[in-house]
Structure 1
């Protein structure tokens, strides 16, 4: 079954890494369903039944986004709040529609990886900072997988640096 990649970037046209990842994934429509939330919902009015159906059609779901104020972009948070509803994602015998699905995060970050360390600028690892996602997906009984992170885009905007991320990302998706 194909992997659903839910891309949440508030300005994908100006993006360097996330836009490039989308372009590459779109070359493989038999493997990936690329779903860009800000393009689909510019008014931020989410079609919850359509999103739930889309999730139900995939066994692997990856949330791709830039790290945004130590979290995800706001539309992804809204998506989580509105789509993962009681009775569908949790809380009843008919719920848990996400149960057993492999779920992962694919995050682009501006700073270098070493800056997410107790003795550095941001004090916490990315795994620690994304713990709420892990807990959310454990709560709905999904199979939460280790995340993919590509660091340093704030300092490395060359085409070479961006292209280096593409095979790493594809390998990550294939290993899910």
Structure 2
């Protein structure tokens, strides 16, 4: 399901989609197809591109380097992202390229989380079974973007993916399509602060050390 970019838009968008079971997807599959049909959008279905989990890091870095906006599209699984999406971040956002000494390839870009949850929004509440408001699960995403010099945009979330009415799903897909087509002309972007700087001291990652933490 991986597609090549269509350069009709002035801004380049890279959608990295991850769902281990597309056949069972009610919402993410619709969003994936909407992205693939959007002009100027480079779409990568990770589970189709890398079924063996052997990620081509150089190719992914080249696609990401061309982008103005990185979109992470996936269902929330165990309060986080699917396994292959996490591996993609681990390998592609390399020290010295994406962050740390010399790692400035992503500075000034935007990062947008487009995610779904199986449970309804009300389940993300201190008095319900997920125990926290959903915002409590966003810091790893936000800090990943920030460490790489990227601006973390307000996420587009769809709760209750298994049971939401069809009309709500249709409206959500339309919002997603409109956002892709209108980026970067989103009114709320003018109100966002520039990304803060999070330099990593060289002493925290000595060049001579090859030991894993």
TM superposition score normalised by structure 1: 0.91
Q: Structure 1: which 4+ aligned runs deviate by more than 4 Å? A: none
Is the Cα contact below 8 Å between 2:121 and 2:160 reproduced in 1?
A: yes
Question: Counterpart of 2:61?
Answer: 52
1:112 maps onto 2:103 in alignment: no
- Where structure 2 has 5 or more consecutive residues not aligned to the other structure, the ranges are 1-10, 190-213
Measured in 2, the distance between the counterparts of 1:56 and 1:13 equals 31
* Distance (whole Å) between structure 2 residues aligned to residue 35 and residue 147 of structure 1: 19
- Whether 1:91 and 2:100 are equivalent positions in the alignment is yes
Alpha-carbon deviation of 1:159? 4.1
The corresponding residue for 2:202 is: none
* Bigger Rg, which one: 2
Per-residue deviation, 1:142: 0.7
Give the counterpart of 2:155 among 147, 167, 176: 147
Partner deviation per Cα, 1:85-110 (whole Å, 9 max, x = no partner): 111001123x1211111001100111
Segments of structure 1 that go 5 or more residues without pairing to the other structure are none
CA RMSD for the aligned pairs?
1.6
C-alpha separation in 1, matches of 2:96 and 2:27: 36
Q: Select between 61-70 and 14-23 the one with higher mean Cα deviation.
A: 14-23
**Alignment deviations for residues 124-175 of structure 1 (CA, whole Å, 9 cap, x no partner):** 122211211111111111111111100111223x543432321122244433
Give the aligned partner of residue 69 of structure 1: 78
